[in-house]
A = this chain, B = another copy of it.
Amino acid sequence: MFAKEKKFSHYKDQVNHHLDSILPALTGGKPQSLYAPIRYAMEGNGKRLRPVLLLLTCESLAGPIEAALPAAAAVELMHNFTLVHDDIMDNDDTRRGRPTVHRQWDKEAALLAGDGLLALAYRCLLGARSSRTPRMAQIFTDGIIEICEGQALDRDFEQRDDVTMADYLEMIMKKTARLLSICTEIGALIADAGETQISLFRRFGEHLGLAFQIQDDLLDITSSQEILGKDFGSDVKRRKRTFLYVHVTTHGSREHRDALKKIFSKPAVAPQDILSAQQIFKAAGALAAAETAAAAHLRKALACLSRLEPAAATEDLREFIDMLLQRKA
């Protein structure tokens, strides 16, 4: 483990400890056909990045970590709801190195487990009972709706050849970045932040999420399977309209565009095709553009943090995003 990860393992431990303390009561009942898949989904070796982000946000404003734990558990439960349902829709076989819920059981059980995870997330969130709980529940709900929209867009794009960079950014804002901004906004609310702070934390979460997803797109084709925990080039296999794909189809030469579209229109993508796509991404400048775009969003996220100081002690948050965005190291 790297030094920075070690620093944040304390927060992850707090999240896991809290989850361990509430999950038996939340999921210990019958029927097992509902709760065993739910526990399985939550037991995977998840990094708990989102609840840790919520805790760090709350702490940066001198808010009480204890009071933030139920909301942190709620975002992790909700995140796993999206993973379980997305895995069904994408027909994925593995997640975090284990069979997906619908492979371990079946699609019907996984569908229901996902529904249960979402309802349990609300139970955690609403159980907090602070004066700001209604507003947190609204942010949470609006966020889930956007995440559904983002997932629908992502699926739509797989059938489309005309996805623009603006389309792509809208999709990842909803599908990935919104969940991070839910964490930062709710973390700030629990710390009793003012409206300016809440708004800055929301934008911080959004830019962090955009940087995170663009980097995720990049790592899929530049990193090894051991680091990714998933197959190398899985986005190419699934014909995902990633930053790299959209960059080539909107900025690439005709030669690069045609070559990439040819790969993406094949009935089955072979390992050689992934290497060819990797070459095209590199030659067309998509890898460099993704690094530039991720860095730009990271700068914007950091600018939000700077504007929060000195009211917020953001040093830990800065180190956290440093760790988060150095995953390839």
Contact = CB atoms under 8 A, between A and B. Distances in A.
Interface of A: 29-31, 33-34, 81, 85, 88-89, 107-109, 111-112, 114-116, 118-120, 122-123, 126-127, 129, 133-134, 137-138, 141-142, 144-145, 148-149, 151-153, 155-156
A115 B149 contact: no
Please name the 6 residue pairs, one residue from A and one from B, whose CB atoms are nearest each other, closest first: A34-B152, A119-B144, A89-B108, A122-B141, A116-B148, A31-B152
A79 B89 CA distance: 22
Contact of A149 (B29, B134, B149, B155): B29
6 contacts: A33-B156, A89-B112, A112-B155, A126-B134, A126-B141, A129-B134
A120 B145 contact: yes
Contacts of A149: 29-31, 34
A145 B119 contact: yes
Contacts of A109: 155
Contacts of A29: 149
A152 B119 contact: no
B108 A155 contact: yes
A137 B120 CA distance: 12
Contact of A112 (B123, B141, B151): B151
Nearest to A33: B152
A111 B89 contact: yes
Nearest to A138: B126
A122 to B, nearest CB: 4
Contacts of A115: 81, 85, 114-115, 118, 144, 148
Contacts of A151: 112
A144 B115 CA distance: 9
A111 B112 CA distance: 10
Contacts of A30: 149, 153
B33 A155 contact: yes
